[in-house]
């Protein structure tokens, strides 16, 4: 009998209002959450309202000044902007606390043996938020904070993060850059926002950036996985595997030029699950990052979740 997959999502994710025409919008959750509840595998999903991240937990990855800045920029009404891309509204700070908190709660419940796999469907996303700066639609570095939590709070020795969002996870890399107990792997279109993630930034057994050329296809991603991603993971032997699951490498997505299809996200996830089965007792935590075409996002997420359930 298959184990259930826990989906962490909080109602305040819908209250993080980024304004008319913004690509990182509430419609993204409307595209995926009902589809998951109506899917053929819905009986294997357990939807959970997550806890908030605490200040102590935030400070494992961000400066106190950064946290205070985000808290203080939140408007009482309307909108404000950290930058032209990163918009906040009255509930954005609270939504961000639950978005990050869901990732940490997944770690806690995996360590307790309550669950084996989780998908954190929060907003705002996190992989562009650095130690000291919000950017790229992201306020706090959700997945990096969760990785630090696994190490500091639960005594794990090695964890890995694989980021297949089409944009480089510069924030994740910044937060974990001094922690050799975390392996960070990012496949991303280059050149593209945020114009980082070159091979010159790589550190053996710690940071592996795999820049992908525009118009790369599933065949190209499979080659990168087989030749670089999977060997690096197996060499590192992590105890817990995190996935920054962005679906903006989909061929339909308006913010990039990679040509993946739904099944490619399923294939990549399957390969990561195989590694997790060998080294992590099958334990995987995935968190939603990008994906801005609603049809592509829905198809990619469904393929991803099916593979996580395998």
Residue 3 — pLDDT band, cuts 50, 70, 90?
confident
**What is the rounded average pLDDT of the residues 294-299?**
98
Q: Which helix (H) or strand (E) holds 21?
A: none
Single out the catalytic residue among 128, 188, 206, 250: 128
Q: Class for domain 5-308, per CATH?
A: alpha beta
**What is the rounded average pLDDT of the residues 98-113?**
97
Checking if the pLDDT of 1 tops 70, the result is no
d(CA 118, CA 231): 24
Q: Give 309's contacts (C-beta < 8 A, 6+ positions apart).
A: 2, 5, 41, 44, 117
d(CA 37, CA 221): 29
Q: Which sequence spans correspond to the domains of the chain?
A: 5-308
Chain segment 192-205, per-residue pLDDT in tens: 999 999 999 999 99
The number of C-alpha atoms within 13 Å of 224 and in the hemisphere containing its C-beta is: 22
d(CA 288, CA 61): 19
Confidence (pLDDT) at 232: 98
Note the pTM of the prediction, 2 decimals. Answer: 0.98
φ, ψ for residue 237, nearest 5 deg: 55, 65
φ, ψ for residue 120, nearest 5 deg: -100, 105
The answer to whether the CB of 297 falls within 8 A of the CB of 32 is yes
The answer to whether the CB of 215 falls within 8 A of the CB of 253 is no
d(CA 283, CA 244): 15
Q: Is 304 a catalytic residue?
A: no
Chain segment 240-280, per-residue pLDDT in tens: 999 999 999 999 999 999 999 999 999 999 999 999 999 99
d(CA 213, CA 67): 35
The answer to whether the CB of 224 falls within 8 A of the CB of 187 is yes
Confidence (pLDDT) at 222: 98
């Amino acid at each position: 009998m298959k184990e259930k997959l826990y989906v962490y999502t909080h109602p305040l994710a819908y209250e993080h209002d980024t304004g008319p025409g913004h690509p990182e919008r509430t419609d993204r959750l409307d595209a995926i959450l009902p589809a998951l509840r109506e899917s053929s595998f819905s009986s294997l999903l357990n939807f959970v309202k997550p806890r908030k991240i605490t200040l102590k937990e935030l400070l494992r990855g961000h400066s106190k000044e950064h946290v205070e800045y985000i808290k203080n920029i939140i408007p009482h009404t309307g909108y404000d902007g950290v930058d032209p891309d990163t918009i906040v509204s009255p509930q954005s700070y609270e939504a961000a606390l639950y978005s990050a908190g869901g990732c940490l709660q997944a770690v806690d419940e995996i360590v307790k043996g309550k669950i084996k796999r989780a998908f954190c469907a929060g907003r705002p996303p996190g992989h562009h938020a650095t130690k000291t700066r919000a950017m790229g639609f992201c306020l706090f570095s959700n997945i990096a904070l969760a990785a630090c939590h696994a190490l500091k709070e639960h005594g794990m020795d090695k964890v890995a993060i694989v980021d297949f969002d089409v944009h480089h996870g510069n924030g994740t890399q910044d937060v974990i850059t001094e922690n050799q107990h975390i392996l960070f792997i990012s496949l991303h279109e280059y050149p593209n926002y945020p114009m980082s993630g070159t091979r010159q930034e790589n550190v053996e057994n710690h940071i592996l950036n795999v820049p992908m050329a525009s118009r790369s296809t599933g065949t190209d991603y499979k080659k990168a996985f087989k030749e670089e991603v999977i060997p690096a993971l197996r060499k590192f032997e992590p105890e817990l595997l995190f996935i920054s699951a962005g679906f903006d490498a989909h061929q339909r997505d308006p913010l990039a030029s990679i040509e993946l299809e739904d099944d490619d996200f399923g294939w990549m996830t399957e390969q990561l699950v195989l590694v997790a089965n060998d080294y992590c007792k099958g334990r995987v935590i995935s968190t939603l990052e990008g994906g801005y075409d609603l049809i592509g996002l829905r198809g990619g997420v469904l393929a991803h979740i099916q593979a996580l359930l395998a």
